[in-house]
């Protein structure tokens, strides 16, 4: 089953109100409105994309260790996924798929990191819950997400809904701004140039990890 098949199956259950989320039907049009507005705003087209130089970053992982993109790129190509947080089931399904693909990515000499605005405590939960073999980095106040052109502010009506659902982003992220990154995945070459990019304002849509393999293979051949 492809990653998107898994996401679609989850979405069908979520919209049907099934456990464990038991989502009430009135929330779905609100979430879909916010996604449609984000798509219409065109921010995804303005984000960092293939052919651009990737912004450098130094962030802390779930255990408080400093991780820099320059150090990782010195070892090989780097897969970066921007992750909304452990509260987002779609994101967790994607991380699990990337973890399944990790041996193949490493066979091409690549590394993987997930970047999220959440606190290290929640990143530890992400790693533990999803049994990840790669780090989840804390992007404090969303600076790296903003540098990639991915950070956006939630509309007020969606903030109100999240509050009703007890989805407290300021607590998750230790940041009062109610901002998130659009889900995005990059392959960055050792020279810092983006070789592959996939940005989708619709968080229910994610590319299969296998789409990166040919890019990683070429990057490995170039050295």
The residues carrying an active-site annotation are 91
Opening angle at CA 150, ends 152 and 192, nearest 5: 160
8, with CB counted inside 10 A (0-12, 13-18, 19+), is: middle
Nearest to 59 by CA among 46, 77, 72, 49: 72
Structure tokens at 45: 């087209």
Task: Mark 148-187 as b/e (b = at least 16 C-beta within 10 Å).
Answer: bbbbbebeeebbebbeeeeeebeebbbbeebbbbbbbbbb
How many other CB atoms sit within 10 Å of the CB of residue 126?
23
Nearest to 131 by CA among 152, 107, 100, 168: 100
């Amino acid at each position: 089953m492809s990653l998107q098949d898994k996401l679609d199956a989850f979405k069908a259950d979520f919209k049907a109100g099934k456990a464990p989320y038991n989502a009430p039907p009135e929330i779905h049009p609100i979430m879909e409105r916010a996604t449609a507005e984000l798509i219409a705003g065109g921010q995804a087209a303005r984000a960092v994309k293939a052919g651009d130089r990737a912004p450098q970053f130094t962030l802390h992982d779930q255990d408080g260790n400093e991780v820099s993109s320059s150090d990782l790129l010195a070892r090989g190509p780097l897969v970066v996924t921007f992750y909304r947080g452990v509260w987002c089931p779609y994101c967790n399904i994607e991380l699990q798929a990337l973890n399944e693909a990790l041996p193949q990515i490493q066979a091409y000499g690549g590394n993987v990191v997930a970047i999220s605005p959440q606190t290290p405590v929640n990143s530890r939960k992400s790693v533990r819950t999803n049994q990840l073999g790669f780090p989840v980095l804390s992007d404090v106040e969303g600076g790296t997400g903003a540098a990639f052109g991915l950070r956006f502010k939630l509309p007020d009506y969606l903030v109100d809904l999240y509050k009703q659902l007890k989805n407290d982003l300021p607590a998750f992220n230790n940041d009062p701004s109610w901002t998130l990154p659009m889900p995005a995945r990059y392959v960055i070459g050792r020279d810092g140039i983006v070789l592959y990019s996939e940005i989708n304002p619709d968080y229910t849509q994610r590319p299969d990890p296998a789409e990166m393999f040919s890019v990683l293979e070429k990057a490995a051949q170039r050295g």
